[in-house]
Amino acid sequence: MTERVAYTAQRVFDGDAIHENAAVLVTDRAIAGLVSVSEIPDAFPVEDLGRGLLSPGLVDLQVNGGGGVMLGDARSLDDLAAICAAHVPLGTTAMTPTLITDTPETTRRIVALGIEAAAKGVPAFKGLHLEGPHLSANRKGAHDAGLIRPITEEDLTLYLEAAGQLPSLMITIAPETVTPDQIARLGNGGVHVSLGHTGAGYEACQLAVDAGAACVTHLFNAMSPLQHREPGLVGAALDLGNLSAGLIADGIHVDPVAVRVAMKSKRGPGRIFLVTDAMSQTGTDVSSFTLGGRKIFRKNGMLCLADGTLAGADIDLPASMRFLCESVGVDRHTALKMATSYPADVIGLPVGRLRPDRAADMVLFGADFTVERVWLGGKPANSP
C-alpha cells in the first residue's frame, strides 16, 4: 500500500531556498514534491510540524568517529554503523566516515568495510574520506608522523577500485607528496581529491587543482597560511574558483574574524562548507579517549593531545551553524546551505536537497538550530 504524508512547517528550506508555509510531500519514503499549503493534494494526509524549519538532512564529509568508535578501530559493519548512528540524532543523515593516517593494512580493512556498508545500505553512510596517509609530516597536526608515507602504485590501485564500489571516495593529499599525474589518475577514476596537511605554496596548489583536485580539507588548519609574498593553500582555497573548502566552525580551530574574511573572499563556483571533524566522543559523555595509542583529552569544547595539539573537534553541525550566525554574522540561509547542498555538491550525490524522487532525509529545527526531529528515508530516526 502506498504511504503518503504532507509535512507542513512555517518554513521549509529545500537546500537552495527558504519557503514560507510550505509542505513537503512524501510518498513511500521518497520526496514527491514541495508545494504551498494551499496546494496539498487530497491524497496526502497532513502532519503539521508547527513553527519550526524543515530542512534536508545535514551532510558531513569529515567524521572520524562517533558512538565511542573511531573509524580506524572499526572491525565490523556494526562498528561502522554505530559511527553513523551517533550522528543521525544530531541532524546528519549523510556522512563520509573519515580514516586519518593509518597503516596500509588498516586502510584496506576500512575500505573493505566501506564497500560492504554501501552494498548493505547502512543508514546515512555515503562513502569514505581517507585523510592521509599521503600528507606532509611537517603539517601532520594530530596525525602519526611515522605512518605518513608516499603514495604507491598499490595504493592507487586500491583507491581506484574502491571509487567504483563506494557512493563516494574522498582522499586528502599534500601536493608535495603526490604528483599532478597521480592526482589526475585519481580524479579521472572518480576519486574526490582534497588538499590538506601541507606546506605547499600557491603555485604547487594550483598545479594540483589543474590536475583535478577540487577541495581543501579543514581550511586554515594544518596548511601553509596566507602571507603577502606566498599565499599558500589558504590563498589558493580563497582565490581558485574551482576549489571548495571544508571549515570547522567551532571558534577554536578558526577565529570568527578569519571565517568572516574567508566568507567574503571566497571565489566561486567552489564553496566553503561545514565539517565537524568529529571523533569517537560524539554521542557519548566521555572525557578522554585514545587515538592511535595516544590519549585525547576532552575539555571546554576542545579535543587535544597532551601537548595541546588539536585532535579533531567537539562540535556538531547544528552548533556549527549557530556559531556562524551568532559569532560570524552569516545569515541563516547561507549557514543551512553550508551544511546541506554545498557539501552534497562536492561529492556529487543526490542528498542535501528536498527534490522529487530523493530519499526523504529531513531534519526539523527549532530556535537556534536545535534539532527537534529527524527522518531517514521518511521514517523517524532517534531524535533528541
pLDDT over 70 for what percent of the chain? 98
Written in H, E and C, the secondary structure of 241-286 is: CCCEEEEECCCCCCCHHHHHHHHHHCCCCCCEEEECCECCCCCCCC
Helix 153-163 × helix 180-188 angle, to 10°:
20
Under CATH, to which class is 4-56+354-380 assigned? mainly beta
C-alpha cell at 274: 561545514
Give the distance from CA 64 to its chain's centroid.
Answer: 10
Q: Say which CATH topology domain 58-347 has.
A: TIM Barrel (3.20.20)
Q: Is 307 among the residues known to form the active site?
A: no
Locus of grid cell 526523504: 360
Distance, CA of 274 to CA of 254 (rounded, Å): 12
Q: Using an 8 Å Cβ cutoff, are 298 and 288 in contact?
A: yes
| Residue 107: count of CB within 10 angstroms of its CB | 22
Q: Using an 8 Å Cβ cutoff, are 366 and 54 in contact?
A: no
pLDDT in tens, 26-41: 999 999 999 999 999 9
| Annotated catalytic residue within 14, 73, 277, 314 | 277
Distance, CA of 51 to CA of 11 (rounded, Å): 7
* pLDDT score, position 382: 65
Strand, coil or helix: 232? helix
Q: Using an 8 Å Cβ cutoff, are 343 and 60 in contact?
A: yes
Average pLDDT, the chain: 94
pLDDT in tens, 233-256: 999 999 999 999 999 999 999 999
Distance, CA of 267 to CA of 238 (rounded, Å): 6
* pLDDT score, position 302: 74
Element (H, E) at 4: strand 4-13
Residues of the chain short of pLDDT 70, as ranges, are 283, 292, 382-384
Phi and psi at 292, nearest 5°, equal: 55, 40
Distance, CA of 231 to CA of 1 (rounded, Å): 60
Distance, CA of 226 to CA of 132 (rounded, Å): 23
* Domain residue ranges in the chain: 4-56+354-380, 58-347
Distance, CA of 339 to CA of 96 (rounded, Å): 13
Distance, CA of 179 to CA of 183 (rounded, Å): 6
* pLDDT score, position 295: 79
112-117 contact pairs (CB < 8 A, 24+) = 113/74, 113/76, 113/77, 113/79, 113/80, 114/80, 114/162, 114/166, 115/162, 115/165, 115/166, 116/77, 117/77, 117/80, 117/81
* pLDDT score, position 2: 80
